[in-house]
C-alpha cells in the first residue's frame, strides 16, 4: 500500500500514538485499511497535459479470503460481487474520474465502502402472504364477466 499503513494519530496521556484507520461498513463490520492495496497508473480523461505525466488513476485491490470478516459476509460478497473479482478472489475497484490521485483514492474507498456494505447486508426475508377472501371473489367475478363477454362474441352455432 505505498508504504503508508497508519493514517492518523491520537493524543493519549500527553503522548501521540499512531492509530490504524478502519473502514466501517453498515451493520457494524469493519476492516483495517492495511488490508487494501492501492496501485496507481496514468489515467485517461480530464487533466490536459498533466494526464501524460501524473499517475492519477487509482486501483483498489482487496483479497476477500484473507480478510478479517466473518465467513457468511465473505460468501455474500463473493456471490454478489463475483463479476468484479479476479480468479484469485481479489476485488478490484478503479477510480479515474478526478484529476488528482488523492481525490481518486478517496473516491475508490467510498465506492468500495458502499459496494461491499451493500453486498454484505443479508437479503430481506420474504413474508408469505395470501390474497384476502374479497380479493379472491373480485378476481373470480372479473373472470366470469370476461368469459361471458367472450361468449357473447361467438357466432351462433348449429345447436343454438
Q: Give the domain range for residue 64.
A: 8-120
Q: According to the model, what pLDDT value does residue 4 have? A: 40
Indicate whether 135 belongs to any domain: no
Task: Answer yes or no: is pLDDT of 10 > 60.
Answer: no
CATH assignment of the domain containing 94: 3.30.160.20
- For residue 147, being part of any structural domain is answered with no
Residue 120 DSSP SS3: helix
- Which residues make Cβ contacts (< 8 Å) with residue 44, sequence separation at least 6? 51, 57, 96
Q: Region 39-66: what's the mean pLDDT?
A: 76
What is d(CA 43, CA 93) in angstroms, rounded to the nearest whole number? 14
Q: For residue 160, is it within any domain? A: no
Tell me the pLDDT of the chain averaged across its residues.
Answer: 80
Name which of 43-47, 54-58, 99-103, 118-122 the model is least confident about: 43-47
Does the model's pTM come out above 0.75? Answer: no
Amino acid at each position: 500500500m505505498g508504504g503508508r499503513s497508519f493514517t492518523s494519530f491520537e493524543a493519549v496521556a500527553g503522548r501521540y500514538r499512531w492509530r490504524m484507520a478502519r473502514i466501517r461498513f453498515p451493520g457494524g463490520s469493519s476492516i483495517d485499511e492495511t488490508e487494501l492495496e492501492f496501485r496507481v497508473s496514468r489515467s485517461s480523461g480530464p487533466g490536459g497535459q498533466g494526464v501524460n505525466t501524473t499517475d492519477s488513476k487509482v486501483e483498489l485491490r482487496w483479497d476477500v479470503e484473507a480478510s478479517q470478516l466473518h465467513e457468511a459476509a465473505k460468501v455474500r460478497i463473493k456471490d454478489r460481487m463475483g463479476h468484479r473479482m479476479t480468479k484469485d478472489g481479489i476485488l478490484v475497484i478503479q477510480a479515474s474520474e478526478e484529476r488528482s490521485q488523492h481525490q481518486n483514492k478517496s473516491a475508490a474507498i467510498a465506492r468500495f465502502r458502499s459496494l461491499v456494505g451493500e453486498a454484505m447486508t443479508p437479503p430481506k426475508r420474504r413474508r408469505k402472504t395470501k390474497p384476502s377472501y374479497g380479493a379472491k371473489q373480485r378476481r373470480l367475478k372479473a373472470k366470469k364477466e370476461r368469459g361471458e363477454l367472450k361468449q357473447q362474441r361467438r357466432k351462433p352455432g348449429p345447436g343454438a
